[in-house]
Amino acid sequence: MVKPAYLWLLLPLAAWSGYKTAPPRAAGSVPAAAAEAPDPQVLAMAAELAKAQPADLEKQLRELLAQAESPGWMNRLKLICARWAETDPAGALAWCEANKTPTVVRLRILTEWALLDSDAAWAAVTNDEERVSITRMLLNEDRETFMVWFRQVRKPLPDLDPAWALLAERHGKELEEIATALLGESQDPPGSFSSLALYFRLAAQARADRDPAAAIAWAMGLDERVARVTVEAAFRQWGKKDPVAAWKEIAKVNAAAAPEAGDEAPKEKPPIRISGSVGSEILERLAKDDPAAAIELLREPGAFTRGEGLNGISAMETAFRDLLAEGKVKPLEAYEMIAFSDPTLGLNIFPDIWRGLPAEKLAEAAKALVAQPAGDPLSMAISGVAGAWMAKDPVAAAAFIAAFPDENLRRSMYSGSFDASGSDPARQAEVLAAIPAQDRAAVFAIYLSRFGELRPGEQSPGYAGPELKPELLAPVFRDLPASEYLDQSVKITAMNWGQQDPTAALAWVDSLSDPAARKAAYGAAYGAAFEGWTFKNPNAAAAWLADKKDGPERDAAALPVVRSLVRTDAEVAWEWAESIGDTGIRQEARLAAMKVWALRDREAAQAAYKRISGKLPAADAAKLSACFGGS
Amino acid sequence: MKYLFPLLACLAVFLAARQFGGALESGIPGASSQKDAGRGTKGLARQAERLAGRTCKSPAALERLHRSGELAEEDLIVAIRQAAAHDPEGVWAWIEAGDYGPHGDGTRSKYLQVVLSKWFGKDPEAALAKMNLHHPNNSYLAGYVIGMLATGTTEEAAAVRDHLDALVDMVGNQERAILFPPRTAEGAAVLMALPEGRSREILLGRFAAAWLETDSGSAAAWVKQLPDIVRNKAMADFTGEALNDRPWISEAGRKFAMEWVMNEASPAEKIRFGPMLAENLAKENPAAAIQWATANLSGDALEDATSKVITRLLSTDPEAAREIAETLSAGDGRTAAVAGVAGTMLKKDPAAAIEWWLDHTGDHNPANRTDARTAAALGSKWFQADPDSFRAYLADPDGRELPFTMVQQALKKMMEDRDGTFDWIASLPPANRVPVIKSAYMVLAQESPEKAAAAFDSRPDLATGDGARMILNYWYGRDPNKAVAWVASLPWGGTREAALSAVRKIAEQQVQKGQEPPQQLKELLH
């Protein structure tokens, strides 16, 4: 009988047995996979090949290559190559050469051969490119054999395959040594980015898993050609585990990297500033679990420049959209979190976050939001909700919007549906036409005003809005009630059209029923059409206009002609100004002409002024006289 | 009891080690489970064991396989496809949560397409809901799904037809994302069979343009029977490529596009494509090209068309280019064309080229930007081609007056040798010096008014009123006090008076704008 005390000797054995039989860990939030039965098709293929000889393998490979690729195709190829490599690898390669097989066959045979006899396979490969390809394939086959080859070829560069991370766990130190040696040999000039940074990135991830602060300190000290990428990789990895801590450290690093006033002396090694994309990624991750905390971080000064902040907003937008769609955040909660105005980031309402909600939730969101205090945040939020709702249930959405009494909010909602039409001009016109007449022009004008001023000329530097197709928009503005917004909408349309097809634009202008809109459009269309024309051939443009009958339309059109003519011939411009019937427009035109004429030919300009000054009201005469410097 | 205690202790250690062991195996979740797959076996047996163990029916299995590090890219796609057949929504979420690096959107989109290949036909609403949320690149997902019209099963094609508007909206203006049916009559029939509406029109239009690009002969007849709105959109898209010398577009395709512009295009499209059409027409008949352009275009478009025709002719038949340029009526087209011809003539006989240009460019208007630019470009070309001829022309007492910008452009080069150029200017006949001196001081003043003033002071023989004015124009804006001090330092005489007149004018303009001239200037003027 064994003495009880001897049983204590079994403890190490129990520990070792427990360790070796430990169950695998499942990844992240994905539930552990139940063991799957082996693929019977693969087993059957393997059994069939187990005793195959080169002649059989030749036949099988020939048949396989004649078939189109299918899910089982690659498995069969791998098995045939594995069998051939263990029976006659040199013969297999010779057969491939003789039969001009696709490269993948030769590479598979060599890879299988390398797994069986690395040295012999290495000797059979004649060029570096092929060695690199095989090395890369070995990474997914057997990391020890991979390292044997990698030590010699020192390629390829790491990618995002998890095999690299596993490799770095076991051979991290050696990878760093190889990468450092490669960097020493590299011809990349100082200050440039070296692709070798990808090795250091890998090392940084492994180090950051153990001790993020130490990993960042190590990365900061690296050669500047690889430091930035490496530091950012360490932050990214840290952000996966502790986003708040990583974020706060980024803010510190960036604050330290900010240049101080008067600090213009070049530094030996420029400080590293963490790019906004790293912070955005961290924010997005945090927002998925704790959106309020993410918003709080976004608003914390220091980590982001304004431009980077906008990236951050974009990242949050994705997170909020998903949270809303998954029901993890209610629309009103989301609105309350995001409806803030920040001095650095501006107004931050994400118009796109609502689009994942189903129609009934959008209806609820719209009803809940309209009860909130009015203001720009609400207008933008309700515009986003309406846009998404119109896309999913246009009938219900349109009915809700049309019945809404607050004019401003109603127009914001329509504006959202217009915004959701995207950049397709035909769709824009279609959506616009569906907006009731009382709001249509206002929606269009307010919407476009967000993109800056549209001015005549091929490029409007201040305008960053969608492309417009005036010929599609024009019918939409016909017979609308007169309003300031209608004038603006018609003007924008006319200006666009006038640049492309002045005759068609002017014919449309003539057909407008509202006189004010027609007047606004005349000025815009002529201005646009003449912008280029009169500059180069003002007389031809003027001659064209001379045929128009006197009247308000001609007067409106003549003003831009005067403005164009004045650049080349102030005297002729003055004559044109004199031909304008409307006293207000005439005075404006006279001033435009006189300002230039007085500088170019003071005497002639003064003579012209004297001829008319007696007939002018005192105020008008004084303004013209001021063009001569008060004389 | 004596036996029980050590046995219980062994059991506790065993269980603890099981937990501990899993954690030690790998920091990467799931890595350990595959680590030993195939280890211990070799060759075929090893590979068979590995491949047979890759059955993948769930996101969890996918995660385990992926984290094993054993899946190459193509293996991962196979695994995604397998898992998506069982749990597409779960696999979708797994892909969305993956880390593909800063530029990995394309990779993610590729994997999601694999899921859609197993999902969209079976549950289009659920798939669409996820596609709608995906960002960015959901246009590529929608474009891929639209491709199922031709490549998918009957069930998939029906699902696409039922949700066409949503898919086309998702594609937006990324029309290149759409995987169209083959560009054949059969492919066209697939799209023609779609339910009528805006989405069908968009797809037909884009398909037509693409088909015309590859096989205009077959596509043309089909395109002609399309509704106007579709045909015009398709032709506009196609014409932009066809008239732009794309090598993959056949001669017949090019002709088809040209005919459309001439006979069917709207006025706006004529303006848009007119210059390209004229250039293409000019390949065979330059006169006809000019005739078409003058009859159909005006303004910028006419100028562009004319200069394109002349440019084309210059390399093949410069004499004809010259003749056409001479017949053009005054305007921008003529300005550009005449400058183009003169630029070519410069290479052979610069003086004759400039004389011809002066004869045909019309009234040169220095305030006109085009005229000024054209003259400057020609001046630069002239000086580069033959600097001696340029100098000789300016030295010729019978030479005609050249536009200021033309002289100025050449002077920029010449002033690299400042002293030599000043000596050369001094040698010019007095009547010829004026524009040259002005240009020379302008070039210097642009760089540094202070240095220009020093140069001015050092050459009393070249100290003209125009030169002083030019320096002041640049100096006063940058440093009015220094500029005024310089004027005050000028010796009494005509030059000083000219300089005083220049600063007086500037001061007047300042007053007109409500600004206060410097005290020093006020004192100087009184």
pLDDT digits (tens, 9 = 90+) for A200-211: 999 999 999 999
Neighbours of B240 (CB within 10 A): 15
Q: Which residue has the tokens 């005003």?
A: A449
Concatenate the DSSP letters of all residues of B62-110 into one string.
HHHHHHTT---HHHHHHHHHHHHHH-HHHHHHHHHHS---TT-HHHHHH
Comparing alpha-carbon positions, the chain B residue that sits nearest to A470 is B268
Comparing alpha-carbon positions, the chain B residue that sits nearest to A278 is B102
N residues, chain A: 631
Chain B hits for A73, Cβ within 8 Å: none
Residue of A25, A60, A323, A506 to mutate, testing the B interface (most B Cβ within 10 Å of its Cβ):
A25
**DSSP label at residue B120:** T
Alpha carbon dihedral A281, A357, B123, A32, in 10-degree steps, equals 40
In angstroms, what separates the C-alpha of B386 from chain A's closest C-alpha?
31
Question: Across residues A171-181, what is the average pLDDT?
Answer: 94
Instruction: Encode burial over B161-181: b for 16+ CB neighbours within 10 A, e otherwise.
Output: bebbebbbbbbbeebebbebb
Statement: residue B363 has pLDDT above 70: no
Distance between CA A378 and CA B168 in Å, rounded? 30
Taking alpha carbons only, the member of B36, B237, B49 closest to residue A78 is: B49
Statement: residue A529 has pLDDT above 60: no
pLDDT score for A539? 57
β-pair type (A341-342, A346-347): antiparallel
pLDDT score for A104? 94
pLDDT score for A628? 82
pLDDT score for B332? 66
- Verify whether the Cβ–Cβ distance A536 to B46 is below 8 Å: no
Which burial class, exposed, middle or buried, applies to B198 when counting CB atoms under 10 A from its CB (0-12, 13-18, 19+)? middle
- Verify whether the Cβ–Cβ distance B25 to A22 is below 8 Å: yes
pLDDT score for B21? 47
Among the partner residues A23, A356, A567, nearest to B18 by beta-carbon distance: A23
pLDDT band for position A29 (cuts 50, 70, 90): very low
In angstroms, what separates the C-alpha of A133 from chain B's closest C-alpha?
12
- Verify whether the Cβ–Cβ distance B47 to A112 is below 8 Å: yes
Among the partner residues A82, A83, A140, nearest to B69 by beta-carbon distance: A140
- Verify whether the Cβ–Cβ distance B17 to A25 is below 8 Å: no
pLDDT score for B252? 93
- Verify whether the Cβ–Cβ distance A629 to B13 is below 8 Å: no
Neighbours of A501 (CB within 10 A): 22
Per the DSSP assignment, residues forming a β-bridge with A341 are: A347
Distance between CA A273 and CA A251 in Å, rounded? 10
Taking alpha carbons only, the member of A103, A117, A112, A125 closest to residue A84 is: A112
Alpha carbon dihedral A224, A227, A228, A232, in 10-degree steps, equals 180
Percentage of chain A beyond pLDDT 70 is 80
Among the partner residues B3, B57, B59, nearest to A4 by beta-carbon distance: B3
Measured at the CA of A182, the angle between CA A176 and CA A187, to 5 degrees, comes to: 140
Concatenate the DSSP letters of all residues of A296-332 into one string.
HHHTSTTS--HHHHHHHHHHHHHHHHHHHHTTSS-HH
Question: What is the H or E stretch that residue A284 is in?
Answer: helix A276-289
Assign 3-state DSSP to chain B and report helix, strand, coil percentages, each to 5: 75, 0, 25
Average pLDDT over all residues of chain A: 82
Distance between CA A618 and CA B280 in Å, rounded? 61
Neighbours of B330 (CB within 10 A): 14
- Write the pLDDT tens digit of every residue in A135-166: 999 999 999 999 999 999 999 999 999 999 99
Give the pair of three-digit tokens for residue B76: 């991962």
Concatenate the DSSP letters of all residues of B148-159 into one string.
HHHHS-HHHHHH
Give Cα B97 to chain centroid, integer Å.
34
- Verify whether the Cβ–Cβ distance A501 to B7 is below 8 Å: no
- Verify whether the Cβ–Cβ distance A7 to B81 is below 8 Å: no
CA atoms within 13 A on the CB side of B208: 27
- Write the pLDDT tens digit of every residue in A32-87: 555 678 899 999 999 999 999 999 999 999 999 999 877 789 999 999 999 999 99
Give the pair of three-digit tokens for residue B32: 């350990």
Give the pair of three-digit tokens for residue B35: 């680590």
Distance between CA B420 and CA B384 in Å, rounded? 18
pLDDT score for B515? 77
Comparing alpha-carbon positions, the chain B residue that sits nearest to A108 is B47
- Verify whether the Cβ–Cβ distance B17 to A18 is below 8 Å: yes
In angstroms, what separates the C-alpha of B304 from chain A's closest C-alpha?
13
Distance between CA A291 and CA B447 in Å, rounded? 56
- Verify whether the Cβ–Cβ distance B45 to A39 is below 8 Å: no
3-class SS of residue A87: helix
Distance between CA B453 and CA B439 in Å, rounded? 14
Question: Across residues A226-237, what is the average pLDDT?
Answer: 94
Give the pair of three-digit tokens for residue B166: 């949503």
Per-residue H/E/C for B418-473 = HHHHHHHHHHCCHHHHHHHHHHHHHHHHHHCHHHHHHHHHHCHHHCCHHHHHHHHH
Per the DSSP assignment, residues forming a β-bridge with A464 are: none
Neighbours of B56 (CB within 10 A): 29
Per the DSSP assignment, residues forming a β-bridge with A342 are: A346
- Verify whether the Cβ–Cβ distance A19 to B21 is below 8 Å: yes
- Report H helices in A371-406: 376-392, 394-402
pLDDT score for B28? 37
Among the partner residues A501, A532, A599, nearest to B267 by beta-carbon distance: A501
- Write the pLDDT tens digit of every residue in A530-584: 554 444 455 555 666 676 677 776 777 778 778 767 766 778 888 888 888 888 8
Among the partner residues A14, A160, A568, nearest to B14 by beta-carbon distance: A14
pLDDT score for B26? 38
In angstroms, what separates the C-alpha of B369 from chain A's closest C-alpha?
9
Residue of B2, B4, B51 to mutate, testing the A interface (most A Cβ within 10 Å of its Cβ):
B51
Distance between CA A592 and CA A558 in Å, rounded? 12
- Cβ proximity of A334 and A365 under 8 Å: no
Among the partner residues B32, B61, B267, nearest to A36 by beta-carbon distance: B61
- Verify whether the Cβ–Cβ distance B55 to A115 is below 8 Å: no
- Verify whether the Cβ–Cβ distance B55 to A38 is below 8 Å: yes
- Cβ proximity of A535 and A548 under 8 Å: no
- Verify whether the Cβ–Cβ distance A140 to B22 is below 8 Å: no
Instruction: Encode burial over B418-447: b for 16+ CB neighbours within 10 A, e otherwise.
Output: eeebbebbeebeeebbebbbbbbbbbbbee
In angstroms, what separates the C-alpha of B396 from chain A's closest C-alpha?
31
> B201: Cβ–Cβ under 8 A, 6 or more apart, which residues?
B227, B229, B230, B233
Percentage of chain B beyond pLDDT 90 is 39
In angstroms, what separates the C-alpha of A405 from chain B's closest C-alpha?
31
Comparing alpha-carbon positions, the chain B residue that sits nearest to A138 is B70
Distance between CA A172 and CA A166 in Å, rounded? 9
- Write the pLDDT tens digit of every residue in B178-199: 999 999 999 999 999 999 988 9
Distance between CA B81 and CA B115 in Å, rounded? 6
pLDDT score for B269? 84
Per the DSSP assignment, residues forming a β-bridge with A347 are: A341
N residues, chain B: 526
pLDDT score for A571? 82
In angstroms, what separates the C-alpha of B50 from chain A's closest C-alpha?
9
**Which amino acid, residue A566?**
V
Comparing alpha-carbon positions, the chain A residue that sits nearest to B134 is A318
pLDDT score for A526? 63
Chain A hits for B508, Cβ within 8 Å: 629
What are the φ and ψ backbone dihedral angles of A268, each rounded to 5 degrees?
A: -60, -45
- Verify whether the Cβ–Cβ distance B169 to A391 is below 8 Å: yes
Which burial class, exposed, middle or buried, applies to B329 when counting CB atoms under 10 A from its CB (0-12, 13-18, 19+)? exposed
Range name among A187-191, A225-229, A437-441, B213-217 with the lowest pLDDT average: A187-191
Average pLDDT over all residues of chain B: 85
- Verify whether the Cβ–Cβ distance B47 to A78 is below 8 Å: yes
pLDDT score for A43? 95
- Verify whether the Cβ–Cβ distance A21 to B104 is below 8 Å: no
Among the partner residues A39, A167, A321, nearest to B52 by beta-carbon distance: A39
pLDDT score for A306? 66
Neighbours of A241 (CB within 10 A): 11
Chain B hits for A458, Cβ within 8 Å: 300
Per-residue H/E/C for B224-248 = HCCCHHHHHHHHHHHHHHHCCCCCC
Chain B hits for A537, Cβ within 8 Å: 299, 330-332
pLDDT score for B122? 97
pLDDT score for B36? 46
Question: Across residues A279-307, what is the average pLDDT?
Answer: 81
Question: Across residues B279-291, what is the average pLDDT?
Answer: 88
pLDDT band for position A304 (cuts 50, 70, 90): low
- Write the pLDDT tens digit of every residue in A369-427: 988 888 878 888 888 898 888 878 888 988 899 888 888 888 888 887 777 666 667 77
Per the DSSP assignment, residues forming a β-bridge with A346 are: A342
- Write the pLDDT tens digit of every residue in A116-142: 999 999 999 989 999 999 999 999 999
Chain B hits for A27, Cβ within 8 Å: 29-30, 60, 63-64, 67
Among the partner residues B16, B73, B331, nearest to A536 by beta-carbon distance: B331
Distance between CA A529 and CA A511 in Å, rounded? 18
- Verify whether the Cβ–Cβ distance B17 to A17 is below 8 Å: yes
- Verify whether the Cβ–Cβ distance B29 to A27 is below 8 Å: yes
In angstroms, what separates the C-alpha of B79 from chain A's closest C-alpha?
10
Comparing alpha-carbon positions, the chain B residue that sits nearest to A353 is B133
Q: Which residue has the tokens 């000064």?
A: A301
Chain A hits for B368, Cβ within 8 Å: 535-536, 568
Give the pair of three-digit tokens for residue A421: 């039409």
Among the partner residues A11, A42, A430, nearest to B13 by beta-carbon distance: A11
Distance between CA B101 and CA A201 in Å, rounded? 11
pLDDT score for A430? 81
Statement: residue B348 has pLDDT above 50: yes
Instruction: Number of A to B CB contacts under 8 A, please give it.
Output: 257
